Amino acid sequence: MIILQILALILLLYVGFNVVYMLIYALAGLFYRRPHFPEREPQVTFCVMVPAYKGDNVIINTVTENLKQSYPNHLYDIYVIADSFKPETLEELKKYNVRVIEVQFENSTKAKAINKAFEIIEEKYDYVVLLDVDNIMEPAFLQKLNDRLVNNVQILQAHRTALNTNTSYALLDAISEEISNHIFRKGHAALGFSSALIGSGKAAGFRFFKDIMSTIDAVGGFDKELELKILKQRIKMYYLEDAYVYDEKVEKADVFQNQRRRWLSAQVYYLRKNFFSGITQLFYGNFDYADKIMQYMLFPKLLLLGSLFIITPVVYFSGLPLYSSAWIVLLVLNIITLAISVPSRFYTAQTAQAVLTLPKAFFLFFSNLFKLKGANKKFIHTPHGQKEAKP
């Protein structure tokens, strides 16, 4: 019984750390105030990079939409880094005012594609904007970056939001992204910390990004390695909430599972690799870096919520002295955290229906815990532009 109580206490403390950490930043996010930046004359030059692996289904639409910027054409160029594209797609791209860099690797990764592009692209731009193959910038996106990129800002994350919510999985994915925006971007910014980066929808100084990418050869989760290298240099990562990049959300259960497997594998890998450096950086006063390692210690949001819904009643009805009251408190606090982090526009009947998919999504995600081995050593591609599928 004593051993059981000790194990229960350890689990309780870990889950409690998760819940309290997220609650603190969720509450802070409520006090986030969007800074105002006066509109400036267009002057910043942008290299818009679109690394694309087998993106034939969506790249033409992506290019067409992203050429609709209100920003002057002579101040930005779009580069499609085309990895394993069909010849007919490459031919079609020639009709548009974009530049195509063809690449081919034995083992493709986003980092390889970006670094290859940097070998070719002339260093005449002020900033790089990094997009995924399915990402669409709002028409005023580059103008908003132009207004914000002052005072030597080296890197910022724009507001990536859902392009589609047409299936339950797409809607849940969209809500999850907005929760992360609230907690890990707005909440952190409100307390003076760096905002978290995502894999796309970010802008960085051209030379700065080129130099730091040359040191990155990650297979999966390159954005995590990028974050750590930036924070180790004590460079702040900013968040521009009102600059929107629309991102295609996964529509099918199998794609959802594979995507989450890739994310979870990368999180575990970079936590194991950098845990002790996080402790060292904490003692050196690099709180941003230490906080980032704490983020990597967190259980994914869906797994945390699902685990609490399972563990709490089991402990409560077992009749054993295993801190049942504490588990109930944690469950309630976690629900409150998520509730205040979800934008009001998602409180709809469609969301209520999507919530019914959560148990299946939880078990799909949970099964990934047993499939992590080797997942970060190979490129796991997320298909885009697939036909709609009902969960």
Q: How far is CA 326 from CA 1, 9, 15, in A?
A: 19, 10, 11
Residue 37 lies in a domain: no
What does the pLDDT look like over 327-378, one tens digit per residue? 999 999 999 999 999 999 999 999 999 999 999 989 988 887 777 665 555 5
CATH code assigned at 181: 3.90.550.10
Q: How far is CA 208 from CA 18, 81, 143, 193, in A?
A: 33, 20, 21, 21
pLDDT of residue 253: 77
Distance from C-alpha of 13 to C-alpha of 276, rounded to nearest angstrom: 20
Determine the angle formed by the axes of helices 253-283 and 358-367, rounding to 10 degrees: 60
Please name the residues in contact with 157: beta carbons below 8 A apart, sequence gap of 6 or more: 185, 195, 196, 197, 198, 201, 202, 237, 238, 239, 240
Distance from C-alpha of 295 to C-alpha of 290, rounded to nearest angstrom: 9
What does the pLDDT look like over 164-214, one tens digit per residue? 999 999 999 999 999 999 999 999 999 999 999 999 999 999 999 999 999
Nearest CA among 384, 364, 362 for reference residue 250: 384
Residue 388 lies in a domain: no
Output the furthest CA–CA distance in the chain (Å, rounded). Answer: 72
pLDDT of residue 390: 31
Domain count, the chain: 1
Q: How far is CA 138 from CA 115, 153, 175, 246, in A?
A: 26, 21, 20, 8
- Domain boundaries, position 101: 9-32+43-382
- Least reliable range by pLDDT among 25-34, 35-44, 251-260: 251-260
Residue 357 lies in a domain: yes
At 246, give phi and psi (nearest 5°): -90, 130
Residue 196 lies in a domain: yes
Residue 309 lies in a domain: yes
Which structure tokens are listed for 65? 């939409």
Residue 2 lies in a domain: no
Distance from C-alpha of 26 to C-alpha of 341, rounded to nearest angstrom: 6
Distance from C-alpha of 386 to C-alpha of 67, rounded to nearest angstrom: 23
Res 121 pLDDT > 70: yes
pLDDT of residue 168: 93
What does the pLDDT look like over 133-158, one tens digit per residue? 999 999 999 999 999 998 889 999 99
Q: Is 220 helix (H, G, I), strand (E, B) or coil?
A: coil
Residue 389 lies in a domain: no
Q: What is the pTM of this model?
A: 0.92
Nearest CA among 145, 105, 139, 109 for reference residue 125: 145
What does the pLDDT look like over 61-93, one tens digit per residue? 999 999 999 999 999 999 999 999 999 999 999
Residue 38 lies in a domain: no
Distance from C-alpha of 148 to C-alpha of 156, rounded to nearest angstrom: 9
pLDDT confidence tier of residue 387, bands split at 50, 70 and 90: very low
For the chain, how big is the Rg over CA atoms in Å?
21
Distance from C-alpha of 189 to C-alpha of 31, rounded to nearest angstrom: 10
Type of residue at 247: D
Q: Are 83 and 113 in contact (CB under 8 A)?
A: yes
Average pLDDT value for residue range 257-284:
90
Res 388 pLDDT > 50: no
Please name the residues in contact with 75: beta carbons below 8 A apart, sequence gap of 6 or more: 42, 43, 44, 45, 46, 142
Which structure tokens are listed for 84? 């394993």
- Other Cβ atoms less than 10 A from the Cβ of 155: the count is 24
User: How would you classify the pairing of strands 127-130 and 136-137?
Assistant: unpaired
Please name the residues in contact with 31: beta carbons below 8 A apart, sequence gap of 6 or more: 190
